């Protein structure tokens, strides 16, 4: 899908055709759309293809008068219930006349720009637009990291009373998301450091301050992801022991109950033998046997409680 936008009177508006200083947002394009756009605007074909590869790393490339910036952005995949928090590449292709964003999925980062949620946003200010995309990406990483932390807390409560591996597997999936986030954030950081050494972004006080804010926010997201990952790893090790201990408690309780029930079963078995036994001619034999079974079971329960086996 190809959408074209332009800022008019401080608002982002959708237009029907290519205009000067417009923004072209491409989401889930077909092969025909990519070829047509490449031929029409003389954009290197690999610039339009590479950002659609889910494993594409963050990088900068310049060719034929166009610059390509690949940025790893966070994404919440509703279809993937096991690992919903992932990262995707976002391609930013531009020159002095054209500005294109390209991704394989609809992005929350780009949606904020389309819906006019970004202050002081103007499409014609391409350098500032790029840095605002970087900053909004860092903000979404921080937002998703908080959601991951909330999920971790809810799974932690399940683990306190769990004897199965389901809750532990949920934590393992969250750890995978944190690994994705950490790897992508570090890749973005290296790309931004290289961006500082190039002349792709025009050096001026406003851009330099914004780029510095971007780097700070990105580092904060990296530190937060590292902290959550370490806490989660320690938590998983601890709760693996908790699950094992919970299972041992259940087995111990069942074993204790089985032993107590064996006592009256043993007495009844003995008095079921076809040999001479005490009380066999007594009219109160059944009461005596039940009483003996009850007393012996009570003694067994007392011993178990005394030794804290129950």
What is the CATH classification number for the domain harbouring 271?
1.20.58
- Its pTM stands at 0.75
Q: In what order do the strands lie in the sheet with 11-15?
A: 11-15, 2-8, 23-27, 99-103, 85-94, 66-76, 59-63
Look at residue 72 in the predicted model and tell me its pLDDT: 93
- Asked if residue 35 has pLDDT above 70, the reply is yes
| Distance (Å) of CA 72 to CA 15, 161, 236, 243, 245 | 28, 38, 28, 37, 41
Residues 241 and 203 grouped into a single domain: yes
Look at residue 153 in the predicted model and tell me its pLDDT: 79
Residues 237 and 276 grouped into a single domain: no
CB-based contacts of 201, cutoff 8 Å, min separation 6: 127, 130, 131, 195, 207, 211
Residue 250 contacts residue 163 (beta carbons within 8 Å): yes
Residues 253 and 233 grouped into a single domain: no
Counting residues of the chain whose pLDDT is more than 90, the rounded percentage is 12
Total domain count for the chain? 2
Residue 215 contacts residue 262 (beta carbons within 8 Å): no
* DSSP track, 120-186: T--TT-HHHHHHHHHHHHHHHHHHHHHHHHHHHHHHHHHHHT--SSHHHHHHHHHHHHHHHHHHHHH
**Confidence class for position 29, pLDDT limits 50, 70, 90:** confident
The CA-to-CA distance between both ends of the chain, in Å, stands at: 65
Residue 24 contacts residue 70 (beta carbons within 8 Å): no
Look at residue 89 in the predicted model and tell me its pLDDT: 93
- Long-range Cβ contacts of 144-149 (<8 Å, 24+ apart): 144/74, 144/76, 144/85, 144/181, 145/181, 145/221, 145/224, 145/225, 145/228, 147/85, 148/85, 148/174, 148/177, 148/178, 148/228, 149/228
Task: Determine how many CB atoms are found less than 10 A away from the CB of residue 73.
Answer: 24
Phi-psi region of 10 (alpha: psi -120 to 50; beta: other; left: phi over 0): left
Residues 44 and 169 grouped into a single domain: yes
Q: Which of 86, 80, 232 is nearest to 168 (CA)?
A: 232
Structure tokens at 267: 């007495």
Residues 163 and 293 grouped into a single domain: no
What number of residues does the chain have? Answer: 310
Residues 103 and 161 grouped into a single domain: yes
pLDDT digits (tens, 9 = 90+) for 111-167: 888 887 777 778 888 888 888 899 999 999 999 999 988 888 777 766 665 556 676
Residues 38 and 154 grouped into a single domain: yes
Look at residue 162 in the predicted model and tell me its pLDDT: 56
Structure tokens at 15: 């237009």
Q: In the listed set 223, 245, 267, which residue is the last one of a domain according to the structure? A: 245
| Domain harbouring 150, CATH code | 3.30.460.20
Which structural domain range is residue 261 located in?
246-306
Look at residue 310 in the predicted model and tell me its pLDDT: 61
Residues 137 and 282 grouped into a single domain: no
Q: What are the backbone angles phi and psi of residue 27, rounded to the nearest 5°?
A: -130, 130
Residues 279 and 239 grouped into a single domain: no
**Confidence class for position 267, pLDDT limits 50, 70, 90:** confident
Residues 107 and 152 grouped into a single domain: yes
The residue whose two tokens read 């029907």 is 16
Residues 180 and 254 grouped into a single domain: no
Q: In the listed set 245, 271, 294, which residue is the last one of a domain according to the structure? A: 245
Look at residue 83 in the predicted model and tell me its pLDDT: 85
- Asked if residue 297 has pLDDT above 90, the reply is no
Provide the CB-side half-sphere exposure for 158 (13 A, CA): 14
Residues 106 and 78 grouped into a single domain: yes
Look at residue 123 in the predicted model and tell me its pLDDT: 81
């Amino acid at each position: 899908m190809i959408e074209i936008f332009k800022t008019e009177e401080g608002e982002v508006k959708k237009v029907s055709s290519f205009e000067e200083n417009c923004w072209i947002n491409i989401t889930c394009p077909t092969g025909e759309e990519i070829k047509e756009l490449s031929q029409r605007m003389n954009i290197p074909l690999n610039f339009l293809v590479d950002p659609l590869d889910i494993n594409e790393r963050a990088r900068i490339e310049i060719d034929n008068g166009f610059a390509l910036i690949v940025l790893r952005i966070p994404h919440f995949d509703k279809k993937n219930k096991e690992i919903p928090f992932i990262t995707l590449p976002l391609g930013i292709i531009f020159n002095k006349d054209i500005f294109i964003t390209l991704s394989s999925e609809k992005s929350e980062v780009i949606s904020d720009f389309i819906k006019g949620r970004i202050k002081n946003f103007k499409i014609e200010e391409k350098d500032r637009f790029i840095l605002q995309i970087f900053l909004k990406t860092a903000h979404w990483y921080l937002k998703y990291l908080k959601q991951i932390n909330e999920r971790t807390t809810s799974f932690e409560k399940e683990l306190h009373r769990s004897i199965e591996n389901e809750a532990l597997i949920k934590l393992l999936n969250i750890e995978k998301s944190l690994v994705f986030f950490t790897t992508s954030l570090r890749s973005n950081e290296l790309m931004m450091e290289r961006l500082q050494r190039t002349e792709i972004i025009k050096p001026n006080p406003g851009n330099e301050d914004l780029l510095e804010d971007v780097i700070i926010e990105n580092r904060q997201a990296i530190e937060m992801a590292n902290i959550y990952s370490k806490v989660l790893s320690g938590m998983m090790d601890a709760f693996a022991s908790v699950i094992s201990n919970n299972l041992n408690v259940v087995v111990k309780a069942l074993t204790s109950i089985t032993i107590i029930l064996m006592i009256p079963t043993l007495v009844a078995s003995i008095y079921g033998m076809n040999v001479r036994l005490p009380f066999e001619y007594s009219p109160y034999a059944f009461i005596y046997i039940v009483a003996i079974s009850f007393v012996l079971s009570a003694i067994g329960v007392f011993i178990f409680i005394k030794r804290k086996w129950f």
